[in-house]
């Protein structure tokens, strides 16, 4: 019967594993920052759009008066009203999606709980042996666990941000249609 020697990773292997796990963790952190920036940008866009819409009540009253005059066709009036409703719904839904993305905060730190106790307490079982190799392995494990958790969190967050982006795209298209409809109302 063949017997194989148990392969014991070297210190260089443990350092390489730690560097790899650290690079993955940092990449995921960068992705998280990019998602946060995108969410903030979307929130600014939505806030600006809603603010412009509701702060111009006088313009909305003028639009209402222009739309509901006898010489405007009924189909154009319906189109303007539908566009306004779709625009507001798309903006509100996008706002909800952005706020949901902000609420997702299940990120994992790349350090164990009670770090001081685990690393410096004489009875700690965090490290099998108090060697550099075991420390490197433990740290690499923490980074790998954090990477996996943060990756799942970023995926969930990205889905909500993407949905908000689609809502904003729909609102931009609707705004373009509404602008064309208003142009037709004013110059009919």
**What pLDDT is stored for residue 151 in this prediction?**
95
Compute CA distances 28 → 93, 146, 183, whole Å: 27, 9, 47
Residues whose CB is less than 8 angstroms from the CB of residue 117 and which lie 6 or more positions away in sequence, other chains included: 124
Collapsing DSSP to helix, strand or coil, 73 comes out as: coil
pLDDT tops 80 at residue 4:
no
* Residue predicted with more confidence, 65 or 30: 30
pLDDT digits (tens, 9 = 90+) for 95-117: 999 999 999 988 888 877 777 77
With beta carbons less than 8 A apart as the criterion, state whether 16 and 138 touch. no
Q: Which of 79, 93, 81, 91 is nearest to 53 (CA)?
A: 91
Q: What mean pLDDT, rounded, does the chain reach?
A: 85
* Residue predicted with more confidence, 44 or 131: 44
* Residue predicted with more confidence, 119 or 49: 49
* Percentage of the chain modeled with pLDDT above 90: 44
**What pLDDT is stored for residue 159 in this prediction?**
97
**What pLDDT is stored for residue 137 in this prediction?**
87
With beta carbons less than 8 A apart as the criterion, state whether 66 and 185 touch. yes
Using CA atoms of 108, 114, 115, 118 in order, give the dihedral in degrees to the nearest 10: -120
């Amino acid at each position: 019967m063949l017997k194989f020697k148990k392969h014991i990773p070297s210190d260089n292997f443990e350092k390489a594993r730690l560097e790899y796990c650290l690079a993955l963790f940092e990449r995921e952190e960068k992705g998280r920052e990019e998602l946060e920036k995108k969410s903030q940008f979307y929130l600014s866009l939505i806030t600006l759009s809603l603010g412009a819409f509701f702060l111009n009540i006088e313009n909305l009253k003028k639009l209402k008066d222009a739309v509901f005059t006898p010489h405007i066709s009924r189909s154009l009036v319906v189109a303007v009203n539908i566009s306004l409703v779709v625009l507001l719904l798309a903006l509100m839904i996008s706002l909800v999606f952005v706020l949901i993305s902000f609420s997702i905060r299940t990120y994992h730190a790349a350090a164990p709980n009670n770090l001081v106790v685990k690393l410096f307490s004489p009875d700690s079982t965090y490290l099998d042996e108090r060697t550099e190799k075991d420390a490197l392995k433990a740290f690499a494990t923490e980074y790998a666990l954090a990477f996996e958790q943060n990756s799942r969190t970023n995926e969930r967050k990205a889905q909500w941000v993407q949905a908000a982006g689609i809502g904003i795209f729909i609102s931009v298209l609707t705004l373009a249609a509404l602008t064309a409809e208003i142009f037709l109302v004013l110059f009919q």
